[in-house]
Structure 1
Amino acid sequence: MDQSLRRDLRRFLAEDIGRGDITSALLSPGRIKASVIAREGCTVSGARHARELFIMGGCSARVCVGDGRSARRGNIIMDVAGPARAVLSTERTALNLMSRMSGIATMTARMVRKVGRKTAIYSTRKTAPGLRRFDKEAVVAGGGHAHRMSLDEAVLIKDNHIAAGGSMEDLIRAARRKHRRIEVEVEDIGAAVLAADCGADVILLDNFAPRQAARAVSELRRRRPRPRIEISGGITVQNIARYAGIGADMISVGSLTHSVRGIDYSLDVTG
């Protein structure tokens, strides 16, 4: 694990413990054993970070169900041992992180199963500030892809870039002089065709209804070279299979990380 991740984990612990866990300080300095248990079925993510948090707190921890693996209700995800004060002071931070990451991984896995192998599921930059690396890691654990981690990784020309800086054609030409891969977000079929004709490598169909998206895909398939096609906006677990059937190469889903339902985990003292 790299040092920047460790710094984040230490920050998470410090945020919760503050100047000290005054309730756990009431306990005698004895040692305990405990288990992290899944209270519902899920795809696990964040177990490696939870283990690191317990180690930072002065405990030992063994992962029983690793990241990317499926767990059933009642499964033991991790065994922990250490001073009672340390285990209980670390408990909430570890469970919170696992809960969020596993929630993201579980929904990603559901969507991946819905679309099959032909269409790739991607996350977006709609992540909680300070948690992007963890959120994106959870998407990958669920079988998805991370897309851009930051703005310096790829060119994606959006409507506000065009509104602020001139025409789509001018921006694509400017980008082509410096960058190899250019993606353009469009809101109608005409703009999709224009972006393709201007040489965009990826066309992002934003908030297209399924029928409109199908017509756009049909038009873009006639272009040579054919751009890759991404669909985004309003994607849910209920409609994602319909969008995938249209023939897009990629579907990006903001709700994977901006509307997370955490997985219910508990830490039970066993001895």
Structure 2
Amino acid sequence: MANDFLQRDWDLELEDDLRQLIRLGIREDLRHEHDWTTLAVIPADATGKASVVARDTGVIAGLKTIDVILDETNVAGSCSIQCADGQTVTSGQAIVVIEASARELLTIERLILNFIGRLSGIATLTAQYVSHVEGRCRVYDTRKTTPGWRRLEKYAVRCGGGMNHRIGLHDAIMIKDNHLAISNSASVDLTMRQAIEMARNTAASIERDQDVIVEVEVDTLEQLTDVIPAEPDIVLLDNMTVEELQQAVAMIRDTNSGIELEASGGVTLETIGEISQSGVDRISVGALTHSAVNFDVGLDWSFRP
């Protein structure tokens, strides 16, 4: 049995995604021209100190984005980090202090705040979900992410104490109802158990340092009964009631298998606590990334002539 999905740390692959997003953000703001407002009213030799300040209580994520933004925009200056990713901050607390040309900082101000706000919003919401399960199980994200932002958003989930589900279609096998429906519509009479066996054969042929996880989605207890003998690594229990989840947990315990159970489908802050009490091993929550509200941060300025 495979262990778990690859967990997202800050690495070169993530930073490459970030740099592409920064370049896009610059094009959106400047379109190969200039910040005409700043050029018009700010002296060329003005320098300033700007602090990224929290306007609320929450969990910070994405502090390393600032150095990369400065590098991509060729802004020469100093950046002093005042806290750490994953740390809880309160309203009025300085997160980062930057010293550089006032013109250049004004031009990239919104870019900095957008990245910190978005990622910290995800980390903050994730921390709320994690706190509701009180250690009874693990909270996972999904692939319901912003296009281009997936690695960054999954990193933010980790900062909030959550876990990463598969990064993409390339790093795990997950058999869903549509796979079986399409196969059967093509005159291939494929059962879930057969699909898992085929997936196991495919996984065995993939050369990886880490075993490829095989997960299957079911939405009834009858389907769970069918897939247990094939021993997938994880069974996703889709939109089941808490009572059904409890029955599923009992079924797995009776088999004494190493299969992990994952609850999913419409999980909210109001329901996750009760779901976690069912005994499932993990809960996947699309809302961590698709419903997070930006964390409120601002730039407080101190100019020098």
Aligned: 1:25 with 2:25: no
CA contact (8 A) 2:19 2:72 kept: no
* Structure 2 residue identity aligned to 1:141: C
Aligned: 1:223 with 2:255: yes
CA contact (8 A) 2:136 2:277 kept: no
Aligned: 1:241 with 2:259: no
Equivalent residue for 1:175?
199
Q: How far has the Cα of 1:112 moved from its partner?
A: 1.3
Q: How far has the Cα of 1:136 moved from its partner?
A: 0.2
**Stretch of structure 1 that moved more, 49-58 or 89-98:** 49-58
Equivalent residue for 1:40?
56
Q: How far has the Cα of 1:36 moved from its partner?
A: 0.7
**Larger RCO (CA within 8 A; separation ≥ 6):** 2
Aligned: 1:146 with 2:164: yes
CA contact (8 A) 1:127 1:135 kept: yes
* Structure 1 residue identity aligned to 2:129: M
Equivalent residue for 1:50?
66
TM-score normalised to the size of structure 1?
A: 0.95
* Structure 2 residue identity aligned to 1:52: V
Q: Label 1:63 to 1:13 Cα distance change in 2 as closer, same or farther (>3 A).
A: farther
Of residues 110, 135, 138, the one that matches 2:128 is 110
TM-score normalised to the size of structure 2?
A: 0.84
Equivalent residue for 1:232?
264
Q: Distance in 2 between matches of 1:237 and 1:184?
A: 25
* Structure 1 residue identity aligned to 2:157: V
Q: Distance in 2 between matches of 1:15 and 1:151?
A: 30
Counting aligned pairs with the same residue, the percent is 35
Q: Pairwise mapping of residues 201-216 of structure 1 onto structure 2 (< 5 A)?
A: 201-216=233-248
Q: How far has the Cα of 1:55 moved from its partner?
A: 4.1
Q: Distance in 1 between matches of 2:156 and 2:128?
A: 13
SS in 2 for 1:33: strand
* Structure 2 residue identity aligned to 1:43: V
Equivalent residue for 1:8?
21
SS in 1 for 2:275: helix
* Structure 2 residue identity aligned to 1:247: G
* Structure 2 residue identity aligned to 1:215: Q
Q: Distance in 2 between matches of 1:12 and 1:192?
A: 46
Of residues 77, 87, 100, the one that matches 1:82 is 100
* Structure 2 residue identity aligned to 1:119: C
Q: Distance in 1 between matches of 2:144 and 2:121?
A: 15
Aligned length: 271
SS in 1 for 2:108: helix
Of residues 269, 275, 290, the one that matches 1:258 is 290
Deviations 1:141-176 (A, max 9, x none): 001111111101111100101101232122112111
Aligned: 1:99 with 2:117: yes
SS in 1 for 2:277: helix
Equivalent residue for 2:3?
none
Q: Distance in 1 between matches of 2:240 and 2:194?
A: 25
Stretches of structure 1 that go unaligned for 5 or more consecutive residues are none
Deviations 1:64-106 (A, max 9, x none): 1221111001100110111111101111111111111111101
Deviations 1:233-263 (A, max 9, x none): 1111121111111111111100000111111
SS in 1 for 2:80: strand
